[in-house]
Amino acid sequence: MKKSFIFIFSFIILSLSAQDKLLTTKDAIYMNRAIMPARVPQLQWIGESDDYAFAKENSMYKVSAKRGTETLLLDLDMLNTAMYANGYDSLKHLPRINLFSDETGYFKKGNAYYEYDFNARHLRKINSVPDSAENIDFNKDTKIAAFTIKNNLYYAADGKAHQITLDDNPGIVNGHIVHRNEFGINTGIFWSPEGKKIAFYRKDETMVADYPLVDIDQRIAKVKNIKYPMAGETSQQVTLGVYSLETGKTVFMKTGLPKDHYLTAVTWGPEGKTIYIAILNRDQNHLKLNQYDAATGEFVKTLFEETNPKYVEPENPLFFRPGHNDQFVWESKRDGYNHLYLFNTEGQLLKQLTKGEWVVTDFLGFYGKNQAWFMATKESPLQQNIYKVDLENGKIIRISPDHGTHYAIINKNGKFVIDIFSSTDVAREYLLLDNKGKTIRVIKEDKSPLKDYDLGQMKVSTLKAGDGTKLYYRLIKPIHFDSTKKYPVIVYVYGGPHVQLVTDTWLGGAGLFLNYLAEQGYVVFTLDNRGSANRGLFFEQAIFRNVGTIETKDQMTGVDYLKSLPYIDTVRIGVDGWSYGGFMTLSLMLRYPGVFKVAVAGGPVTDWKYYEVMYGERYMDTPQTNPEGYKKASVLNYIDRLKRKVLVIHGTMDQTVVWQQSLLFIQKAVSLGKQVDYFVYPGHKHNIRGIDRANLYEKITAYFKENL
Provide the residue range defining the domain that includes 620: 450-707
Which residue among the candidates 380, 434, 686, 692 is catalytic per the annotation? 686
In the chain, DSSP finds a helix count (H) and a strand count (E) of 10, 44
Average pLDDT rounded to a whole number, residues 672-687: 97
Average pLDDT rounded to a whole number, residues 245-258: 97
Which residue among the candidates 579, 587, 634, 662 is catalytic per the annotation? 579
The order of strands in the sheet holding 360-366 is 360-366, 371-376, 385-390, 396-398
What DSSP assignment string belongs to 412-451?
Answer: TTSSEEEEEEEETTEEEEEEEEETTS-EEEEEE----TTT
Is residue 210 situated within a structural domain?
A: no
List Cβ neighbours of 348 (8 Å cut-off, separation of 6 or more).
Answer: none
Q: Considering 128, 149, 172, which residue would you say is the last residue of a domain? A: 128
Distance CA 59, CA 440 (A): 24
Is residue 500 situated within a structural domain?
A: yes
Q: What is the CATH number of the domain that holds 538?
A: 3.40.50.1820
> How high is the pLDDT of residue 101?
85
Mind spelling out the 3-state secondary structure of 125-187? EEEECCCCCEEEEEECCCCEEEEEECCEEEEEECCEEEECCCCCCCCEEECCCCHHHCCCCCC
Alpha carbon distances (Å) from 420 to 439, 482, 509, 581: 12, 37, 16, 29
Q: Please count the structural domains in the chain.
A: 2
Is residue 376 situated within a structural domain?
A: no
Is residue 370 situated within a structural domain?
A: no
Nearest to 572 by CA among 677, 499, 487: 487
Residue environment code for 560-599, b if the CB has 16+ CB neighbours within 10 A, otherwise e? ebbeeeebbbeebbbbbbbbbbbbbbbbbbbbbeebbbbb
Is residue 606 situated within a structural domain?
A: yes
Average pLDDT rounded to a whole number, residues 524-529: 98
pLDDT, tens digit (0-9, with 9 covering 90-100), for 390-445: 999 999 999 999 999 999 999 999 999 999 999 999 999 999 999 999 999 999 99
215 catalytic per annotation? no
| Farthest CA pair distance, the chain | 79
pLDDT, tens digit (0-9, with 9 covering 90-100), for 312-322: 999 999 999 99
3-state secondary structure of 463: strand
Q: Which residues pair with 305 in a beta bridge?
A: 288
Residue environment code for 152-161, b if the CB has 16+ CB neighbours within 10 A, otherwise e? bbbbbeeeee
Distance CA 232, CA 207 (A): 14
Q: Would the pLDDT of 7 be above 60? A: no
Alpha carbon distances (Å) from 581 to 164, 273, 458, 485: 42, 45, 22, 29
| Confidence at 32, pLDDT banded by 50, 70, 90 | confident
Which residue among the candidates 528, 654, 662, 684 is catalytic per the annotation? 654
3-state secondary structure of 20: coil
For the beta carbon of residue 682, count every other beta carbon within 10 angstroms: 12
CB 356 within 8 A of CB 396: no
3-state secondary structure of 391: coil
pLDDT, tens digit (0-9, with 9 covering 90-100), for 163-208: 999 999 999 999 999 999 999 999 999 999 999 999 999 999 999 9
Average pLDDT rounded to a whole number, residues 243-251: 98
Q: Would the pLDDT of 8 be above 70? A: no
Distance CA 395, CA 192 (A): 33
Q: Would the pLDDT of 548 be above 80? A: yes
> In degrees to the nearest 10, what's the CA dihedral of 474, 478, 480, 484?
-90
List Cβ neighbours of 630 (8 Å cut-off, separation of 6 or more).
Answer: 607, 608, 609, 620, 623
Strand 324-332, strand 319-321: pairing: antiparallel
Q: Would the pLDDT of 255 be above 80? A: yes
* Chain-centroid distance, C-alpha 584: 20
> CA neighbours within 13 Å on the CB side: how many for 27?
18
Q: Would the pLDDT of 247 be above 50? A: yes
**Alpha helix stretches (DSSP H) within 592-642:** 613-620, 627-633
Angle at 115 between CA 188 and CA 141, to 5 degrees: 45
> How high is the pLDDT of residue 19?
61
For the beta carbon of residue 112, count every other beta carbon within 10 angstroms: 15
pLDDT, tens digit (0-9, with 9 covering 90-100), for 127-160: 999 999 999 999 999 999 999 999 999 999 999 9
Is residue 365 situated within a structural domain?
A: no
Q: Considering 128, 157, 186, which residue would you say is the last residue of a domain? A: 128
CB 418 within 8 A of CB 408: yes
Distance CA 631, CA 547 (A): 11
pLDDT, tens digit (0-9, with 9 covering 90-100), for 324-377: 999 999 999 999 999 999 999 999 999 999 999 999 999 999 999 999 999 999
> How high is the pLDDT of residue 620?
98
Q: Considering 128, 160, 185, which residue would you say is the last residue of a domain? A: 128
402 catalytic per annotation? no
Is residue 54 situated within a structural domain?
A: yes
Is residue 317 situated within a structural domain?
A: no
Mean pLDDT score of the chain, rounded to an integer? 95
Q: Would the pLDDT of 702 be above 50? A: yes
422 catalytic per annotation? no
> In degrees to the nearest 10, what's the CA dihedral of 400, 403, 406, 412?
0
Q: Would the pLDDT of 12 be above 60? A: no
For the beta carbon of residue 412, count every other beta carbon within 10 angstroms: 16
Q: Would the pLDDT of 472 be above 50? A: yes
Under DSSP, the state recorded for 47 is: T
